[in-house]
A and B are shown apart, each in its own frame.
Chain A
Amino acid sequence: PRMKRLAPRSTLRKIIKKHKPELRLAANADLLVHLSFLLFLHRLAEEARTKAFENKSKIIKPEHTIAAAKVI
């Protein structure tokens, strides 16, 4: 499946601002935030997939995702 490739740059900045209003992000640092988030979701998805396989499930269920989140 095709994936949207663009980063939601202003939303990423707003999310960090919400948590840390005083913190400023250097130019393009938000792109690396997005990169780390992509990698996080990649890890989470692969871990959840492994859990689903272990349970002989053909579909990723909430419990697989929860178990994956604990490992990561």
Chain B
Amino acid sequence: MTWLPFIIIIPLFGAFSMPIVSLLKGKAKEIWATIISLATLIVGIEVFREVWTGGTIVYALGSETPFGKANFPIRIVWEVDKFGAIMVLIITFVSFLAILYSIEYMKHDTGLEKYYTLILILELGMLGIAITGDIFNFYVFLEIMSIASYALVAFRNDTWEGIEAGIKYMFVGSLASSFVLLGIALLYGQYGTLTIGYLALKMSQNPTIVAKVALALFLGGLLFKSGAAPVHMWLADAHPAAPSSISAMLSGLVIKIGGIYAIARVVFSMFLPAVNLATVGWIVIIFACITLIVGNAMAVVQEDMKRLLAYSSVGQIGYILLGLGIGMVAYGSRVGEIALAGAIYHTVNHAIMKALLFLVAGAVLHELGTRNLNELSGLARTMPKTTFAFLIGAAAIVGMPPLNGFASKWLIYESSALFNPIIGAIAIIGTAFCTAAYIRVLFTFFGRPSEKVMKAKDPGIAMLLPMMILVIAIIGMGLFPWQISDKFMIPAARTLWDIANYVASLMGGG
């Protein structure tokens, strides 16, 4: 008996019952969404514990085994390894806090029953991607996640920027998704199966040019979803325009699951036997270096607080891609292991700290009604708790030693310097830009109070509580950086590399 199915059942039930629950007047829909996401968090913790004690979970839908009377999988399977379990945990955690935050943050908006339906579906889509072991099923959940996020970006339909960003995101996002679908169609035509583990097996027997074309299409589509450099423009528009609770989920989770996790899963668990990993790795590294510099440099010159955070997200995606790319080129070596562990660690850390920073930006926007940094000087005087949360988040993202961002960035620096000193230097330059951007914001916050800021005050408990939980998470994780990296991140990196085990646990029957 495994808890795994409930990670889909509970949010699905919550989302589909939301229109009925919202017939009750008052706060019913907020309370219902909070209960559902809390229950999902509990199941997420349980699934994480299960995978960590019992190893990879393989679950066939509709039968005991995925095989039937054949010797190849005919049913859809879920396959949750250690990396997937980490993603499940962080998705359920950040989604719960974002929903808790929305109770107060969204109270001036209309159409809230649709808002809570969509936010639960967004969580559902991300969880589906994290647990699936079937490539077409991956596409279905990628679409669920994408469509929910298009609608949520444009949720404030009375603002011009919401609609503009939504249209931009939707047009290019659907194009990127169709690339992924085209890649899946090619793979099915050539290999005749849709299960990721079995596809890897078939590809190892017969690597063809079709596999390479499909991989190129996958990488193109998924790098778009992660906001890598030449195609990051949707992100810089979508994050500022969305409600802040949604920006926190988009920046903390959607670009990681739809981008980073998907690239890692597709490359390591599916294409590893069929393609030259070093070539793929260098392509990822090149994009990572461009992303690092462009994202962080553009963050320095922004006037708009949320746009600054959005560009900073692009920059941090650059670090994660860098770790991932080195993990591919240096497959099987100690350097590659450190790089991949650093990438996974930074994915988790960045989800926590960027969620915190966007929630802070939302609190500022909610109290003052402006995101322009020039009008926010002296915020520390009137909103001390919010400023404190921002200070912690900014210090963590820059990588100050007592906080969690330090260890993950250190792993990426160390491995990139060992791998190739030039890439190490590029990573350091990116951090210099990042530091400059955040110090500029902090100087503004601690400056002389402007007239507009004087009548501001800290937000209520429902908005402060999620921020404080994230602050505690950042500080708490910062106290045990190397323990976390040795106990969780390095084993996760090893299971991601271990394709033989991934295929064996599928074929051995769940």
A and B part of one assembly: no
